[in-house]
Amino acid sequence: MTAKPVTPLVEMDRAEVIAGNGFAGQDILSVSQFNRENLAYIFDKAQAMRALVETDGMSDLLRGNVLTCLFYEPSTRTSASFIAAMERLGGSVIPITQGVQFSSVSKGETLADTVRTLEQYSDAIVLRHPEIGAAKIAADYAEVPVINAGDGAGEHPTQALLDLFTIQQELGRIDGLKIAMVGDLRYGRTVHSLTKLLTQYDVTLRFVSPEILRLPLVVMNEVIDAGIPVRETHDVADVIENADVLYVTRVQKERFVDMAQYEAVKDQHEITIELMAHAKERMVVMHPLPRVGEIHYAVDHDPRAAYFRQVRNGMFIRMALLAAVLGEK
């Protein structure tokens, strides 16, 4: 599955921090490519996309462009989001989204060859792959822009962007906010990426998790090095009163050996209407979805429950990114 590069890979050559709005032709591989300046640019563009969808449903901005959605593992939500984004910009999609048997792959083709083949038909490639680093390899070989839609335990930058965009849209700002992350902070890829982006802002962070699922040392050190005020706790009750954002993630039962410990954790992390009674009047509850009980269904009726609006923001962010990398050709 991994390429056999002929020349040594130059680390992050094409994926360096992009200054200003110079996204045209660029890969989107990592949140580390984004600074406050180009985040503001993308968020502005995403807001314009919302207006466009709400008035006309679509535009012809990317007419004549074809996007390949190459998903080596299925992700209904993410592939549907990119497909809708491309179609609402007047472009077309080659959907390879079942993640099951790729004929060429089963014949032993490398990722590099698959990508170089598919780029012959298309103007950009969105890649989902179970292996960390796959998006980087694809980008090194492809001449068209590659957008990382998740590479295993690696990154999922468009998710982090939509999360941050949602905070900005819901609360009107990012600086000055108290943000609490809840749940599986150890394996939760979205938590790590969002946290990295937040270190560029003047925020306060709270991390709520069971002991065995605490934030990895390397991410925590980035937070500390950035001078962000931070605290960890085991109980969401400790943070509910002051949080402007409650970013909740799924805790997987399989992570626990001791089921009694799992049950205790569940009680300390579940977001209920009783818990929400202690929260600020103006705050938001977010979740990358799918959820399996971390947020009680009764909370859905609370106007502070932002997770479905968050999903919709994903489409606007992806429209903005597609327009940015493809639009100025």
Task: Report, as residue numbers or ranges, the catalytic residues.
Answer: 77-78, 107, 128, 156
Expressed in percent and rounded to 5, the helix, strand and coil fractions of the chain are 40, 15, 45
Helices 307-326 and 76-88: angle between axes, nearest 10 degrees: 50
Binding status of residue 80 toward a copy of itself by CB under 8 A: yes
Binding status of residue 130 toward a copy of itself by CB under 8 A: no
Binding status of residue 312 toward a copy of itself by CB under 8 A: yes
Bridge partners (DSSP) listed for residue 285: 246, 305
In the bound state with a copy of itself, the residue whose beta carbon lies nearer, of 167 and 319, is: 319
Contact map string, positions 244 to 273, toward a copy of itself, x by CB under 8 A = ------x-----------------------
Six token digits for residue 5: 């590069």
Among 121, 202, 235, 241, contact with a copy of itself (rule: CB under 8 A): 121
In the bound state with a copy of itself, the residue whose beta carbon lies nearer, of 123 and 163, is: 123
Among 13, 16, 117, 282, contact with a copy of itself (rule: CB under 8 A): 117
Helices 217-225 and 189-198: angle between axes, nearest 10 degrees: 10
> Rounded distance, CA 284 to CA 306, Å?
6
Residue ranges in 38-77 that form contacts with a copy of itself under rule CB under 8 A: 56-58, 63-66, 68, 73-77
Q: What is the 3-state secondary structure (H, E, C) of 251-295?
A: CCHHHCCCHHHHHHHHHHHCECHHHHCCCCCCCEEECCCCCCCCE
Residue 37 CB, shortest distance to a copy of itself, in Å, is 28
> Rounded distance, CA 306 to CA 245, Å?
10
The CA angle 18-319-48, to the nearest 5 degrees, is 95
Q: State the maximum Cα–Cα separation within the chain, in Å, rounded to a whole number.
A: 60
Binding status of residue 204 toward a copy of itself by CB under 8 A: no
Among 101, 217, 260, 277, contact with a copy of itself (rule: CB under 8 A): 101
Among 14, 214, 291, 304, contact with a copy of itself (rule: CB under 8 A): 291
Binding status of residue 189 toward a copy of itself by CB under 8 A: no
Among 8, 11, 19, 108, contact with a copy of itself (rule: CB under 8 A): 108
> Rounded distance, CA 81 to CA 247, Å?
21
Binding status of residue 107 toward a copy of itself by CB under 8 A: yes
Does residue 274 contact residue 296 with C-beta atoms inside 8 Å? no
Q: Where does this chain bind a copy of itself (CB under 8 A)?
A: 3-6, 56-58, 63-66, 68, 73-77, 80-81, 83-84, 87-88, 92, 94-96, 98-105, 107-109, 112-114, 116-118, 120-123, 250, 289-292, 297-298, 300-301, 308-309, 311-312, 314-315
